[in-house]
Structure 1
Amino acid sequence: MTLDFHPGQGSRSRTFGWEDPAVSAGAVPHHSGLGFLREILAGRLPAPPITAALGITLEEAEYGRAVFALVPGEEHYNPIGSVHGGVYATLLDSAAGCAVQSVLPQGTGYTSIDLTVKFLRPITVDTGKVRAIGTVLNSGRRTALAQAELLDSEDRLLAHATSSCMLFPVRGRQDT
Structure 2
Amino acid sequence: MGRSRTYAWQDPAITAAAVGRRTGLEFLRDLLSGDLPSPPLSATLDFTLDEVEHGRAVFSFVPGEEHYNPIGSVHGGFFATLLDSALGCAVQTTLPAGMGYTSLDLHVKFLRPITVGTGRVRAIGTTVHGGRRTALAEARMVDAEERLLAHATSTCLLFPLPAE
The two structures share one fold, judged by TM-score above 0.5: yes
Residue equivalent to 1:157: 148
Residue aligned with 2:152, SS: strand
CA deviation after TM superposition for structure 1 residue 172, in Å: 4.7
Choose which of 85, 96, 102 in structure 1 pairs with 2:87.
96
Contact 1:100 1:136 in 2 (8 A): yes
Deviations 1:85-127 (A, max 9, x none): 0000001000000000000000001010100000000000000
* CA radius of gyration, larger in: 1
TM-score (norm 1): 0.92
Contact 1:29 1:171 in 2 (8 A): no
CA deviation after TM superposition for structure 1 residue 170, in Å: 1.3
TM-score (norm 2): 0.98
Choose which of 102, 105, 109 in structure 2 pairs with 1:118.
109
Q: What is the aligned residue count? A: 164
Q: Distance in 2 between matches of 1:137 and 1:49?
A: 28
Contact 1:26 1:172 in 2 (8 A): no
Q: Distance in 1 between matches of 2:50 and 2:12?
A: 19
Q: Share of identical aligned residues, percent?
A: 66
Is 1:58 matched with 2:49? yes
Q: Distance in 2 between matches of 1:69 and 1:142?
A: 29
Residue equivalent to 1:28: 19
Q: Distance in 1 between matches of 2:54 and 2:133?
A: 18
The CA RMSD over aligned residues, in Å, is: 0.7
